[in-house]
Structure 1
Amino acid sequence: MEISSRVPGFYKMSIEERKQYIIDLYDLSEEDAVQLLDQVSLPEETADKMIENVVGTFSLPLGLGLNFLIDGKDYIIPMAVEEPSIVASASYIAKIVREAGGFKTEATERIMIGQIQVVGCPDFDKAKRAILAEKETLIRAANDAYPSLVARGGGAEELEVRIINESDSKYNQMLIVHLYVNTCDAMGANIINTMAESLAPVVEHLTDGKVYLRILSNYADRSLAKATCTIPPELLASDGFTGEEVRDGVVHAYEFAASDPYRAVTHNKGIMNGIDPVIIATGNDWRAVEAGAHAYASRHGQYSSMTTWSVDEAGNLVGELELPMSLGIVGGASRVHPMAKLAYKILRVGSAKELARVIVSVGLAQNLGALKALVSDGIQKGHMALHSRSVAMAAGASGDLVDIIAKKLVESNEIRVGYAKKLMEEYAK
């Protein structure tokens, strides 16, 4: 089915018109259409099975990132987020990148890591040798603990051993076994934890030590996804700024983030502004992805920019984002939450690898959107224009009055709840 992510005027439609457009575009089943049209995105009886002590549900706005062309394929991307301007910014930059040929992506194999911590070994070097001597046996034992994964083409593939804090006290000295597992299309937490726990007694026997932790690592640096884009400067020109000025400003802004952790934190938060909403919409663990991404940004010894921006020989702006992606498209909330299931039908991704490639493309777009605004008009112009609607509602506006008050706030350049309330009083007279 050919689906275009270019939907001119989508933002001008009413919510009902947008929903019907998506229903028609994807030829959604009656059940899926009802889910999209229903005001209850997560039934309480489902929520009660997902976590403990449920007293209700908490909704986020679900928007659609448009215009994305990734590896020659169009994607409409569900994004669950409360902050104004994120969806608009991602869609705007995706349109620019689309005109430049779209995003290009790649991803490594889906290798996640399980860790087994051993302490109290009489001889740590001897313990390490003992583990490595039985490496193949341990890998087979791990796979025996989860045969269904092996049947799907995955499973434990490699094992390494590290000794850390060798010169410290007995409480700091430890041996760490790393089990590398191809989790296929699953995030793999339960798989890896099961495998690690099954190996613990054997590891204790081989090392004469005591096993404490046996759990996955969310630092998935063997499950990477990378997105790149190349943009001619003329596509970056806007509002009195030449494309070359915007291009150079973006590179200077990147260099700032690459050199200064204080700037890097805010720079990278902007990247996660794009990534987290897609993770949430697809029912994945956004905390795991966040933790892994920030760790990866520190891999060279200093917290730095997740993206890189440069100028090639032809004068084009070149962007790149590579991050670990501990996510899946099977299991967990991704196939339990009704809206997450619908999100996958809209996304049309066939594997966890493909989802990871889409997500880093959104992160790269979001970063460029923020940097382009910062080096030209400033971040507040577009953001506050969209934020004005939230301010109007916070002041008590509803219906058509929201847009009327929001417009007055922008025109006056006073986007404050206090001023919005004053305007409300004037309209009430």
Structure 2
Amino acid sequence: MCASISGFSKLSKSKKIDWIVQTYFSNAEDAKRILKQYWNTNDKLQQLHDEFIENTITNYYLPLGVAPNFSINGKLYTIPMAIEESSVVAAASKAAKFWMDRGGFKTKVISTTKIGQVHFIYYGNPETLKSYFNHIKPQLIHDAKPITKNMEKRGGGILDIELRDKTDDIKGYYQLHASFETLDAMGANFINSCLEQFAKTFKGEALHFDAFTEEERDIEIIMSILSNYVPDCLVRAEVSCKVDELSDDASISGEEFATKFIQAVNIAEVEPFRAVTHNKGIMNGIDAVVLATGNDFRAVEAGIHAYASRNGKYSSLSHAKIENDIFSFWMEIPLALGTIGGLTGLHPLVKLSLELLHHPTAKELMQIVAVAGLAQNFAALRSLTTTGIQQGHMKMHLMNILNQFGANEIEKSALTEHFKSKVVTHSAVVEAINQLRMIN
């Protein structure tokens, strides 16, 4: 029977586990065994993991794979990918090899501006507020100097602060809309600290601004927070080759492949139901690298999907065309990433992942991540428009099905061979393993 508990966070780890398994599981000892099975035998390393979040009871493992042969601006990379979905790493690797032989991926960072906002309510004269903002803006930047001085030494800091009138949306609603450069840090803590100082100065100094009436001085700060929508922190990734070099499959010409491929992209540009799945495939590649490098994949997801809707309709992130007999495939996406701070200096596998990538700067990581997404999208569209998505995906999924049914090594070997020439479906695998076990 489930029960509430007081003071759970103050319990030791072992006491937390005891309460969890005794309260929620029919076999408490078996549940405890599974939880402890995923602990690291290195106590120091386990303590590090325990302290990443609150109320830790165990570790949750994801496979960390690598996709080699990525040529990006003439430099070769092996890209780390943390993901549980079968076929993603294989597809990325296949796309990398395909494009390595056709000039590789070309990338560039378009801009790196990040955004934060102070949201506040003011019911007075808008012109007086504008006058106050112009008066106080230099002091907002000055009062944040203790926070920004180290960032400024490295070439970053506050870029600008604007006053934005949002009263058409909500009565009395205004923003201080600030832009930042945070260099190799994702910068969330830096930006939020600056915003909170802006809010403090903005509200406090209003009490002494002579042009305000008594009522106008009462500016109500609602919240101060960075935005994960970063449409001005953009990276572009692209590939191109001659149309007749595009296909390595004798059953389809380069021209036919390019035509079908572009049509598939065009459909995702105009049909939101297709665009969501199309972009999800891009995120398979992006999220896997973002997670492997210790960045915030939820923030990246939210910002990229918002960008896909920036014109009022959810649409494809990637685009394709043929011009002068050259096939081009590209995308521009917003990515706010960091290579210092957060988990990047704490998690041992994140450190290894960044070393594997030649210790990239934040700009370099933006380009690598964008390429992983474009490669994944190319591989998916290539399958969809030629053999169909299920053939390759289900072949990779075969091992998951076999593990689900407790197949031993002999059974795995026999069934892997059996399905080399057959379509993999869940029902077909179940039938095959049952028949094999009947024979044996």
TM-score range, shorter chain: 0.7 to 0.9
Alignment of 1:9-408 (within 5 A): 43-166=45-168, 170=171, 173-204=172-203, 205-206=205-206, 208=217, 209-233=219-243, 234-238=245-249, 240-313=251-324, 315-408=325-418
Aligned residue identity for 1:162: R
Judged with a 3 Å threshold, the aligned counterparts in structure 2 of structure 1 residues 417 and 389 are, in CA distance, closer, same or farther, namely farther
Change (3 A) 1:42 1:231: farther
Is contact 1:329–1:352 with CA below 8 Å preserved after alignment?
yes
- TM-superposed deviation, 1:307: 0.7
* 1:149, distance to aligned residue in structure 2 (A): 1.3
Shift of 1:49: 1.2
- Shift, 1:288, TM fit: 0.5
Q: Distance in 2 between matches of 1:353 and 1:335?
A: 18
Task: Let me know the Cα RMSD of the aligned residues.
Answer: 2.2
Aligned AA (2:278): H
| Counterpart Cα distance in 1 of 2:424 and 2:356 | 38
Q: Distance in 2 between matches of 1:279 and 1:423?
A: 37
SS of the aligned residue for 1:115 comes to strand
Q: Amino acid of the residue matched to residue 288 of structure 2?
A: P
- Which stretch has the larger CA shift, 270-279 or 41-50? 41-50
Give yes or no for contact 2:137–2:161 (8 Å, CA) kept in 1.
yes
SS at match of 1:236: coil
Deviation at 1:91, TM superposition (A): 1.2
Number of residue pairs the alignment of both structures matches: 388
CA contact (8 A) 1:405 1:420 kept: no
Residue 226 of structure 1 aligns to a residue whose secondary structure is strand
> Displacement, 1:159?
1.1
Q: What is the deviation of 1:39?
A: 9.2
> How far apart are the structure 2 equivalents of 1:95 and 1:422?
34
Q: Share of identical aligned residues, percent?
A: 37
Does the 8 Å contact 1:142/1:198 carry over to 2?
yes
Conservation of the 8 A alpha-carbon contact between 2:133 and 2:163: yes
Alignment gaps of 5+ in structure 2: 1-39, 207-215
* Cα distance change, pair 423–239 in 1 and its aligned pair in 2 (3 A): farther
Q: For the structure 1 residues 201 and 245, does the alpha-carbon distance in structure 2 shift closer, same or farther, using more than 3 Å as the test? A: same
Amino acid at match of 1:53: N
Relative to structure 1, the CA distance from residue 419 to residue 196 in structure 2 (aligned partners, 3 Å threshold; closer, same or farther) is same
* Cα distance, 1:407 vs structure 2: 3.6
Determine the C-alpha separation between the residues in 2 that align with 1:357 and 1:41: 37
| Residues 246 and 258 in structure 2, CA contact (< 8 A), matched pair in contact too | no
| Structure 1 pair 46–415 and aligned structure 2 pair: CA distance change class (3 A) | same
Alpha-carbon shift at residue 165 of structure 1 (Å) = 3.2
Taking the aligned partners of 1:378 and 1:56, their CA distance within structure 2 comes to: 39
Contact 2:394/2:424, CA 8 A, preserved across alignment = no
Deviation at 1:71, TM superposition (A): 0.7
The whole-number CA distance in structure 1 between the counterparts of 2:43 and 2:75 is: 28
1:230: Cα distance to partner?
Answer: 0.5
CA distance in 2, matches of 1:72, 1:395: 45
Q: 1:71 to 1:116 in 2, by over 3 A?
A: same
In structure 2, relative to structure 1, the CA distance for the partners of 1:419 and 1:75 (3 Å cut) is closer
SS of the aligned residue for 1:372 comes to helix
* Rg comparison, structure with higher value: 2
> In the alignment, which residue of structure 1 is the partner of 2:37?
none
Letter matched to residue 331 of structure 2? L
Q: Which residue of 1 aligns with 2:210?
A: none
- In the aligned structure 1, how far is the partner of 2:67 from the partner of 2:166? 45
Q: Is the 8 A contact 2:71 2:77 kept in 1?
A: yes
C-alpha contact 2:295 2:337 (8 A) present in aligned 1 = yes
Structure 1 residues without counterparts, runs of 5 or longer? 1-37
Matched AA of 2:279: N
Change (3 A) 1:108 1:412: closer
Alpha-carbon separation, structure 2, partners of 1:414 and 1:350: 40
How far did 1:409 drift?
4.4
Structure 2: distance between partners of 1:235 and 1:99: 11
Cα contact 2:143–2:201 (8 A) shared by 1: no
1:406, CA displacement in angstroms? 3.4
- 1:391 Cα shift? 0.8
CA shift, 1:109, in A, is: 4.2
**Distance in 2 of aligned mates of 1:218 and 1:142:** 21
Which is further off, 328-337 or 232-241?
232-241
SS of residue in 2 equivalent to 1:146 = helix
Change over 3 Å in CA distance of 1:177–1:63 after alignment to 2: same
The equivalent of 1:13 in structure 2 is none
Q: 1:353: Cα distance to partner?
A: 0.3
Sort the Cα spacing of 1:126 and 1:316 in 2 relative to 1 into closer, same or farther, 3 A.
same
Shift of 1:408: 2.8
